[in-house]
């Protein structure tokens, strides 16, 4: 008769240890797999381990290439532009139009902006498995590969969209790009004034010679009826003109400029007692004014032509009583600046993408429906960008190698 074997305490402990080891072993496998997956994903982001820097000016002011930066000796506005071939000539301030020798600016050399290029943002494959597959969207900043290398552009139209021209301005699905492309889109500076007191009319612009500019404080002139009126002055033609698609970053570019109407104004001021301020912007379709009440104190407010978007309400003032025009496009009533409470007024505009007469020769029709697998891209520095406006059939999907974001 055989005696059954009994399990010794040491055997049970060994089995429990082996069970715990197997359990930990699987956890290590899972953890290693997760880390490998994360490493592969991070490896698809160009610029993660090193710098990818913007080299060209086509995406300014969203992404800057290497630039020189300094302040105008007269109006103190920031001057920033790519280094020219020759800094011997006098420089013209984009804001006040004054000319100065380069040594007056005390320039600082700034590197190009650093970016990430996510090569797996739209399509991510691993060992034959597709882990991500999505299409680029309007508004995306994308990296494009072509014969010249890698370029960064803004994607504004996708397959099936209708790209058209209204005059010479680019539209998507019969609407301006600012209404179609998700924002925020960058704003282009038009003018900035910093001063304690506004000058009285009459305007001095008629007597300005071709070699002079108009100081920044001479753009806003106070009328006897209390309206503070902005007189737009072209630093190029040296005369009063409508606001055009000038870009302060393109110092050496000569081209035809286009009139624009979508602009806004930002004001920083201090008032001693509750005040109602009225502001008006000229538009070719309809000129109206808006008003808003302010408590005593410091304020930084923004106004755009839509008015109501920033808390402004439309007035019933007749257009004939509003002192604005093409060349005096903005007027403010109720704002008074004093020596102890200076005001800062900044005017900026939306980006408009235009097609030059030369590039229009490439358009077989004024309306083009993008076929499947075709995308339309542009540069934010629209007068200084080679993009789909020169080839309106768009770029192929395979040319888009990744999504770009600023570090």
Cα 253 to Cα 54, 59, 238, 306, 385, distances in angstroms? 20, 15, 17, 32, 12
Q: Is 333 left (phi over 0), alpha (psi -120 to 50) or beta?
A: beta
Catalytic, out of 58, 164, 193, 289: 58
Q: Rounded to whole angstroms, how far apart are CA atoms 16 and 317?
A: 88
CB-CB neighbours of 287 under 10 Å: 19
Catalytic, out of 23, 99, 114, 153: 153
Query: Is 103 a residue of the active site?
Result: no
Query: Is 393 a residue of the active site?
Result: no
Q: Is the peptide bond before 198 cis (omega within 30 degrees of 0)?
A: no
Q: Are strands 313-314 and 288-294 parallel, antiparallel or unpaired?
A: antiparallel
Residue 150, classified by CB atoms within 10 Å of its CB into exposed (0-12), middle (13-18) or buried (19+), is: middle
Distance linking the first and last C-alpha atoms of the chain: 82
Integer-rounded Cα Rg, in Å, for the chain is 30
**Which among 240, 234, 239 is positioned nearest to 328, based on CA atoms?**
240
* Catalytic site positions: 58, 153
């Amino acid at each position: 008769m055989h005696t059954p074997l009994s399990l010794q305490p040491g055997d049970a402990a060994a089995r429990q240890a082996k069970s715990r080891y197997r359990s930990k072993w699987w956890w290590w496998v899972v953890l290693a797999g997760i880390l490998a997956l994360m490493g592969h994903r991070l490896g698809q982001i160009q610029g993660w381990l090193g710098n990818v820097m913007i080299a060209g000016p086509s995406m300014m002011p969203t992404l800057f290439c290497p630039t020189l930066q300094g302040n105008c000796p007269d109006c103190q506005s920031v001057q920033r532009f790519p280094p020219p071939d020759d800094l011997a000539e006098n420089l013209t301030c984009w804001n006040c139009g004054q000319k100065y020798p380069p040594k007056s600016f005390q320039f600082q050399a700034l590197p190009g902006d650093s970016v990430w290029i996510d090569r797996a943002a739209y399509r991510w494959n691993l060992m034959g498995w597709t882990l991500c597959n999505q299409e680029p969207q309007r508004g995306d900043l994308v990296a494009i590969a072509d014969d010249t290398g890698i370029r960064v552009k803004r994607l504004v139209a996708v397959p099936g969209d209708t790209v058209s021209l209204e005059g010479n301005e680019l539209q998507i699905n019969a609407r301006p790009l600012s209404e179609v492309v998700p924002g925020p889109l960058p704003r282009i500076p038009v003018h900035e004034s910093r001063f304690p007191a506004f000058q009285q009319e009459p305007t001095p612009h008629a007597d300005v010679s071709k070699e002079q500019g108009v100081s920044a404080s001479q753009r806003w002139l106070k009328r006897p009826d209390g309206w503070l009126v902005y007189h737009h002055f072209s630093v190029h033609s040296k005369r009063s003109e409508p606001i055009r698609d000038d870009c302060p970053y393109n110092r050496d570019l000569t081209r035809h400029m286009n009139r624009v109407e979508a602009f806004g104004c930002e004001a920083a001021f201090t008032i001693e007692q509750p005040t109602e301020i009225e502001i008006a912007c000229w538009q070719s379709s309809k000129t109206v004014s808006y008003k808003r009440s302010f408590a005593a104190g410091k304020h930084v407010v923004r106004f755009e032509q839509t008015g109501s978007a920033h808390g402004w309400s439309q007035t019933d003032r007749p257009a004939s009583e509003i002192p604005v025009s093409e060349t005096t496009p903005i007027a403010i009533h109720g704002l008074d600046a004093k020596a102890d409470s200076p005001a800062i007024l900044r005017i900026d505009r939306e980006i408009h993408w235009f097609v030059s007469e030369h590039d229009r020769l490439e358009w077989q029709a004024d309306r083009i429906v993008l076929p499947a697998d075709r995308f339309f891209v542009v540069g934010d520095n629209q007068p200084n960008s080679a993009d789909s406006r020169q080839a309106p059939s768009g770029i192929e999907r395979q040319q888009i190698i990744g999504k770009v974001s600023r570090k």
